[in-house]
């Protein structure tokens, strides 16, 4: 499906995009899944086919379908949403390959801590006016100051799964 994406400005379609997280807990016996409801973003595709942009998550919008846990995740033990209401990924480089994959590099900022993150995304749908990128990546939450781990219950890396639909911005 090798498709060239048009040069210009692109806007994230929040109704057709998802960002989800997965974390092992209870000493690896339980997997907690959550989805961010508040997501925005935009980007620019340059004439050489490379791109840059930003995806922003409303940190308080994480929903794990467990009210008490969600409240704890918003606290200073985890996302500290009162002081850091957003999580951002600033794309520094987005380079397409001929096999419908895209190498993405940028800065992930969580709780005011920025770290470089790189991953490979797949183009899962493409048209003249829209493109969808899907990716799965892992991050070490402790690198972002999220170290709460009562009795060693939380194990391993956090997995982030995304499906991001971008539509061509109106001129």
Model pLDDT for residues 37-84, shown as the tens digit of each residue: 999 999 998 888 788 999 999 999 999 999 998 998 899 988 999 999
Is residue 33 one of the residues assigned to a domain?
yes
Structurally, how many domains does the chain consist of? 1
Structural domain that includes position 161: 8-168
Is residue 62 one of the residues assigned to a domain?
yes
CATH number at residue 73: 2.40.128.110
Is residue 3 one of the residues assigned to a domain?
no
Is residue 1 one of the residues assigned to a domain?
no
Provide the pLDDT for residue 1. Answer: 43
Is residue 47 one of the residues assigned to a domain?
yes
Distances in Å between the alpha carbon of 159 and those of 76, 95, 99, 155? 21, 23, 24, 12
pTM: 0.88
Q: For the segment 35-49, what is each residue's pLDDT rounded down to a tens digit? A: 999 999 999 988 887
Is residue 161 one of the residues assigned to a domain?
yes
């Amino acid at each position: 499906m090798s498709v060239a994406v048009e040069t210009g400005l692109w806007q994230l379609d929040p109704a057709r995009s998802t960002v989800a997280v997965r974390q092992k807990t209870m000493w690896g016996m339980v997997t907690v899944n959550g989805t961010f409801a508040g997501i925005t973003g935009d980007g620019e595709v340059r004439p050489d086919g490379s791109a840059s942009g930003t995806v922003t998550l409303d940190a308080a919008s994480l929903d794990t379908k467990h009210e008490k846990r969600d409240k704890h995740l918003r606290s200073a033990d985890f996302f500290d949403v009162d002081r850091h209401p957003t999580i951002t990924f600033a794309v520094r480089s987005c380079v397409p390959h001929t096999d419908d994959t895209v190498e993405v590099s940028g800065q992930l900022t969580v709780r005011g801590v920025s770290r470089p993150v790189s991953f490979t995304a797949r183009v899962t749908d493409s048209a003249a006016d829209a493109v969808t990128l899907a990716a799965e990546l892992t991050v070490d939450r402790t690198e972002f100051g999220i170290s709460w781990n009562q009795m060693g219950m939380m194990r391993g890396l956090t997995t982030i799964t995304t499906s991001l639909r971008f539509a061509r911005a109106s001129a």
